[in-house]
Structure 1
Amino acid sequence: MKRLLIAATILCTVILIIPTMLVLFVSETEETTTSTVRSVAVDQPEEKWSYNPEDDMTVAVFRSQQNEIEELPLEQYVMGVVASEMHPNFEMEALKAQAMTARTYMVKNILQPRDVQVPDGAMVTDTVTHQVYQSEVELKEKWGADFDLYMARIQEAVLSTQGQVLTYEGEPIDAMFFSTSNGYTENSEDYWHSEFPYLRSVESPWDQSSPRFTAEKMVSVAEFQNRLGVALPEDGSVGTIVERTDGGRVAKVVIGGKELSGRQVREKLELDSSDFQWQRQGDQIAIQTRGWGHGVGMSQYGADGMAKEGKSYEDILVHYYRG
């Protein structure tokens, strides 16, 4: 049985990058059949959240709007990601969990570069292709008078978890996250082709508080057929959902004899989620969705809901990343 732990262990592949770090990792043991979390301090500084950017590693981010590469310390990059990917008013433990996923994503990308095209000299872009990142200048413009308050919360979340990453069998994980579930997360192979033992479908009932938990989109019949490359049946029906995933999203649908995956439909029609149902209303198709995002990994609204119930960031991560 695999369990999630936080232990005072340094990855040999990462030690040259981050000299002292707490590593959240999944290991195999026969001692227990329950998930347990243990936190051990490593070289804790006397000052709370002591941080010197000059001692941090440098990362290179391609700024898509500016068409240039920005180099900055890792933890400052993580701050810019957390500030861009999660609302700073979310609970502190949720923000910490987001900091962990953001840092893990970057460290994994450094150790195991992905096959995504990035300009020479850059490690990642600042878009959803990798992680959305905004600089302090951009955040000041975005937040206005709330900047100091919001940035203080982001700094606390990042610096109180600095150096920590999520690993599985000694390697940084694919720390996927998304906005809002439909009540369950997805198994990784049900949305992508790759199966990861720590990206399993789990319950996430807290997401019902999200403003994007449900949505409806109207698409004309002509646009529907054009985007999906199908011809709707003459009987006025739309199509048949023939299979759903463990997470309740559409796995397969047949429209006019053509089989499509739920992901294909979601992406081609630009739907919030692959958990959908539809009805034909004259020359329009009404499509109702539940959730927002691909559904794999940590739900941000789920994390916030758990934090509201008093759960720690470790509890949140243990729930969404299973071994």
Structure 2
Amino acid sequence: MRKFLLGLFGLFLILATFPTLIQEIHNLLKPPQIQSPGTTVNMYNHFTQKIEQLSLDDYLVGVVAAEMPASFPMEALKAQAVAARTYIMQRMSPGGVKNTRYPGADVSSDPKEGQAWISRAEMEKRWGKVKSLEYYYKIKWAVESTQGQVLTYKAQIIFPAFHASCGGGTENAEEVWVTSAPYLKGVPCPYCADPNPVRQATYTLAELDQKLKTNLSAVPVSTANNKLLVITKETKTGRPKEIKLGNKTYSTTILREILNLRSTRITWSINGDKITFTTKGHGHGVGLCQYGAKGLAEQGKSYEDILKHYYTGVEITMMK
């Protein structure tokens, strides 16, 4: 009995000191310190509806945790960390896009308004106590080992667009947002490792008429298959850019938002009074493909290789 109690006490001590042990190991493995720019981020937390003051690194850890699966390879996480740092510094630098919605804040944690962000408490909810410690220090390493690094094009910090999965190739910025950027050009992406890239969404003609203010229900059945939906423009990479639905034409970017489709890589099939939209990929398709980054990392590519594949002509620059 005494041995059992001693063993139980020893197990308790191990569990009690486990978080400290992980932190100590992390500190031992910490790379040589690069001079930190000492930036503070004033973030509007859309969960608490309050402005929080965070160190740049703490902000970036929360962003990478929210934006990319922590199970991804380290080089993919490093690429995401550099992209995330570039995004916030581009907003906070002179001439950058300033927040106007939340006075006093540099950025919001709402993914609809910028980069997503989650707290340590939210990480624990998502991943559990032990796994969240592993993932937190993994992400922290990705942030610290790329500390101070941002993406530039001709000495100017870039807008580092990224998305979940491209479905086989990324898109030119001007095909999605009208405005072009020389570093946001479509590139082939045979590495996209999204395990479930294809999704479907089905709507009745009446539902589409209501959502899109179209007249699809009025098209005669005999001509419906030929007249209901027609691609009127394609992007240079072959995605539909504009689709005519009955009497109205929509950009696929707008159509994706209204119909809650996962991407603009769209095909469809018609069955009676229903249309099934099939999409491949997830997101707008511009810039870094996160599942592509995963695939490249699994092939042994570095985060520098990954970033330079998806952002044409960029340099990785140290902040001054």
Question: What TM-score bracket applies, with the shorter chain setting the length?
Answer: 0.7 to 0.9
Counterpart check, 1:186 vs 2:171: yes
Hey, which bits of structure 1, 4+ residues long, moved more than 4 A? Answer: 50-55
Uncovered stretches (5+) of structure 1, i.e. residues with no partner = 1-45
Deviation, structure 1 residue 217: 0.8
The structure-2 alpha-carbon separation of the partners of 1:100 and 1:139, relative to structure 1 and needing over 3 Å to count, comes to same
For residues 297 and 106 of structure 1, the distance between their equivalents in structure 2, rounded to whole angstroms, comes to 16
The structure-2 alpha-carbon separation of the partners of 1:310 and 1:284, relative to structure 1 and needing over 3 Å to count, comes to same
RMSD: 1.9
The structure-2 alpha-carbon separation of the partners of 1:142 and 1:53, relative to structure 1 and needing over 3 Å to count, comes to farther
For residues 197 and 75 of structure 1, the distance between their equivalents in structure 2, rounded to whole angstroms, comes to 29
Correspondence for 1:62: 44
Correspondence for 1:309: 299
Correspondence for 2:25: none
Correspondence for 1:236: 224
Write the deviation string for residues 119-167 of structure 1: whole angstroms up to 9, x where unpaired: 1110000011110001112212221130111112101111000100001
Write the deviation string for residues 250-273 of structure 1: whole angstroms up to 9, x where unpaired: 111112232221112111111001
The structure-2 alpha-carbon separation of the partners of 1:58 and 1:115, relative to structure 1 and needing over 3 Å to count, comes to closer
Secondary structure of the 1:191 match is: helix
Seq. identity, %? 39
For residues 189 and 228 of structure 1, the distance between their equivalents in structure 2, rounded to whole angstroms, comes to 24
What is the total number of aligned residue pairs between the two structures? 277
Give the structure with the larger helix fraction: 2
1:180/1:212 contact within 8 Å kept = no
Matches within 5 A, 1:1-323: 48-50=30-32, 56-111=38-93, 112-114=95-97, 117-128=100-111, 129-144=113-128, 145-207=130-192, 209-232=193-216, 233-234=219-220, 235-237=223-225, 238-323=228-313
For residues 105 and 78 of structure 1, the distance between their equivalents in structure 2, rounded to whole angstroms, comes to 10
Deviation, structure 1 residue 80: 0.5
2:98/2:106 contact within 8 Å kept = no
User: Letter of the aligned partner of 2:162 in structure 1?
Assistant: F
Deviation, structure 1 residue 114: 2.1
For residues 29 and 196 of structure 2, the distance between their equivalents in structure 1, rounded to whole angstroms, comes to 40
1:62/1:118 contact within 8 Å kept = no
Q: TM-score, normalised by structure 2?
A: 0.82
User: Letter of the aligned partner of 1:65 in structure 2?
Assistant: F
Secondary structure of the 2:224 match is: coil
Correspondence for 1:25: none
1:212/1:292 contact within 8 Å kept = no
Secondary structure of the 1:206 match is: coil
Deviation, structure 1 residue 275: 1.0
Secondary structure of the 2:211 match is: helix
User: Letter of the aligned partner of 2:241 in structure 1?
Assistant: A
Write the deviation string for residues 153-194 of structure 1: whole angstroms up to 9, x where unpaired: 101111000100001122210000000002110100000011
Write the deviation string for residues 9-31 of structure 1: whole angstroms up to 9, x where unpaired: xxxxxxxxxxxxxxxxxxxxxxx
2:266/2:279 contact within 8 Å kept = yes
Greater gyration radius: 2
* Stretch moving more, 280-289 or 303-312: 280-289
Secondary structure of the 1:236 match is: helix
The structure-2 alpha-carbon separation of the partners of 1:115 and 1:156, relative to structure 1 and needing over 3 Å to count, comes to closer
For residues 306 and 37 of structure 2, the distance between their equivalents in structure 1, rounded to whole angstroms, comes to 29
